[in-house]
A and B are shown apart, each in its own frame.
Chain A
Amino acid sequence: MRLLIGTLFGLAIAAIVGLGLTYLSLTRGTAFGGLSIDSWTAWPKSGTTDADPYVRASIARSGRLPTAMGDGVSFTLQSDDEGKVLDGRCDVVISGVTPVARFWTMTLYNPNGALVANSTNRYGFTSQEIVRRSDGTFEIVVSPRASAGNWLPTGGVERYELILRLYDTAVGVSTKAGREVPMPDVMTRSCP
């Protein structure tokens, strides 16, 4: 009897620890193997056959097709440069330049990967649509309220993430964070 209780206890711990770790590692994002530049993170290996089991499991669970190497690379942004989680009720300013690429797109998603409904049906910008300053830099205002210039509406949702996709670019598996890959700055300007 004591042996049975002990075995069940051990197995229960194994199940909780094992499944808990799996759930956490797949929902909280797999931090290792990523290329982090400022607050932006990419997993260039997720678009290759070198993808590790965690990346593979996370891709299968989410149901997306990852951006393949040779097509481009995706950078995800979940918090601003001070580490504050992006809040759709605040005004967040993305400014600066992107790494060299033939085209890029920046798109706003909710944490499940769906586009966020808004009155103007604008879900993101492409490198060709963006209005730039004379020095080539740009500024995107991500905010629930209409704003002049490049306004990306959040629809007032609490949590969102931005994905910057660089297409036909040299940024990839061998890229190290540095001066060749300047990522835009991210600042939360005002919060109600």
Chain B
Amino acid sequence: MIIRWLLLILGGVLLGGIVHLATVILLPRTATQDAYARLTPIAPVNTVVALPAPTPEKAIMPFMDPAFASAVCRYDLSQGPLKLRVPVSPAYTSVSFYTRNDVAYYAINDRAAGRRVIELDLMTTAQHDQVPEDEEITAADRLIVESPTVTGVIAIRAMAPEPGLMRAAQAAIAGARCGTAQPEPPPPTPQPQPQPRPRR
């Protein structure tokens, strides 16, 4: 009789271990308050949206760094690759890429980009495979980033090392643009086609 109950407890604990692992693995797919879900109501797809600075009363996401001006581009690559253009701020600018499940897969900062504007193309692996090889060579100074998921979030952040520089950081962020490569829908601001320019 006691052995029967002990076996039931043992079985329950073993099954509990499976439940634990299953919930941990499934949780990111079912989370309704993750960063992507928090950004969805305020950030239309394939547009740069500036985020309000975090305050004690209100912040879009927890653990935001108050020394940064930030913006996001929630992207959807199903209509084609995305072009991203971020002018760098005087201090420090970074662009981080996250999948639909908030996993960071790539980040670049102003120094690594090595110029006044961070410019890159974001596409899925399948879209990258379709890029003609010669085009890739002429565009050798264009950075191509592959997204593991069709949707995701790009976080664009510029630092204000002291409060007086926050305005400059916000101004740099305000110049950031993201959008699909095909100019079929009229772009919000006329952008010159990226000419193959001499490399520095």
Is there an interface contact between B161 and A129, defined as CB atoms closer than 8 Å? yes
B19 partner residues in chain A, CB cutoff 8 A = 14-15, 17-19, 22
Is there an interface contact between A167 and B92, defined as CB atoms closer than 8 Å? yes
Is there an interface contact between B16 and A115, defined as CB atoms closer than 8 Å? no
Is there an interface contact between A103 and B159, defined as CB atoms closer than 8 Å? yes
Is there an interface contact between B107 and A68, defined as CB atoms closer than 8 Å? yes
Within 8 A of B (CB), among A28-69: 46-49, 51, 53-54, 56-57, 59-69
Task: Select B153's contact among A26, A65, A70, A113, beta carbons within 8 Å.
Answer: A65
Is there an interface contact between A57 and B159, defined as CB atoms closer than 8 Å? no
Number of B positions contacting A (CB below 8 A) = 64
In the bound assembly, the distance between CA atoms of A116 and B54 in angstroms comes to: 11
Tell me whether A63 and B35 are in contact in the complex, defined as CB-CB below 8 angstroms, given that A14-B12, A127-B161 are known contacts.
Answer: yes
Is there an interface contact between B24 and A22, defined as CB atoms closer than 8 Å? yes
Interface 0/1 of B98-127, CB less than 8 Å to A: 100111111111011000000000000000
In the bound assembly, the distance between CA atoms of A71 and B22 in angstroms comes to: 31
Is there an interface contact between A167 and B155, defined as CB atoms closer than 8 Å? no
Task: Select B27's contact among A22, A47, A103, A123, beta carbons within 8 Å.
Answer: A22
In the bound assembly, the distance between CA atoms of A72 and B63 in angstroms comes to: 14
Chain A nearest Cβ from B90, distance in angstroms? 12
Task: Select B28's contact among A56, A107, A114, beta carbons within 8 Å.
Answer: A56
Interface check B136, CB cutoff 8 A:
no
Q: Which of B12, B14, B94 has the most CB of A within 10 A?
A: B12
Is there an interface contact between B23 and A49, defined as CB atoms closer than 8 Å? no
Is there an interface contact between A17 and B106, defined as CB atoms closer than 8 Å? no
Chain A nearest Cβ from B49, distance in angstroms? 14
Is there an interface contact between B15 and A10, defined as CB atoms closer than 8 Å? yes
Interface check A102, CB cutoff 8 A:
yes
Is there an interface contact between A21 and B34, defined as CB atoms closer than 8 Å? no
Number of A positions contacting B (CB below 8 A) = 61
Interface check B171, CB cutoff 8 A:
no
Task: Select A12's contact among B12, B38, B57, B61, beta carbons within 8 Å.
Answer: B12
- Secondary structure of the A side of the interface? mixed
Task: Select A126's contact among B5, B57, B161, beta carbons within 8 Å.
Answer: B161
Is there an interface contact between A56 and B12, defined as CB atoms closer than 8 Å? no
Is there an interface contact between A163 and B8, defined as CB atoms closer than 8 Å? no
Interface check B195, CB cutoff 8 A:
no
Is there an interface contact between A17 and B20, defined as CB atoms closer than 8 Å? yes
Within 8 A of A (CB), among B130-157: 148, 153, 155, 157
Interface check A4, CB cutoff 8 A:
no
In the bound assembly, the distance between CA atoms of A165 and B68 in angstroms comes to: 12
B67 partner residues in chain A, CB cutoff 8 A = 105, 107, 124, 126
In the bound assembly, the distance between CA atoms of A129 and B153 in angstroms comes to: 31
Is there an interface contact between A114 and B12, defined as CB atoms closer than 8 Å? no
B65 partner residues in chain A, CB cutoff 8 A = 105, 107, 124, 165
Tell me whether A25 and B24 are in contact in the complex, defined as CB-CB below 8 angstroms, given that A63-B33, A69-B104, A126-B162 are known contacts.
Answer: yes
The 19 listed contacts between A and B (C-beta, < 8 Å) are A6-B8, A9-B8, A13-B13, A17-B15, A17-B20, A19-B19, A25-B20, A25-B24, A48-B105, A56-B102, A62-B63, A63-B35, A67-B104, A70-B106, A70-B112, A113-B63, A115-B59, A124-B67, A167-B94
User: What residues make up the interface of B, taking CB atoms closer than 8 Å to A?
Assistant: 4-5, 8-9, 11-25, 27-28, 31, 33-35, 37-38, 54-57, 59, 61-67, 91-92, 94, 96-98, 101-109, 111-112, 148, 153, 155, 157, 159-162
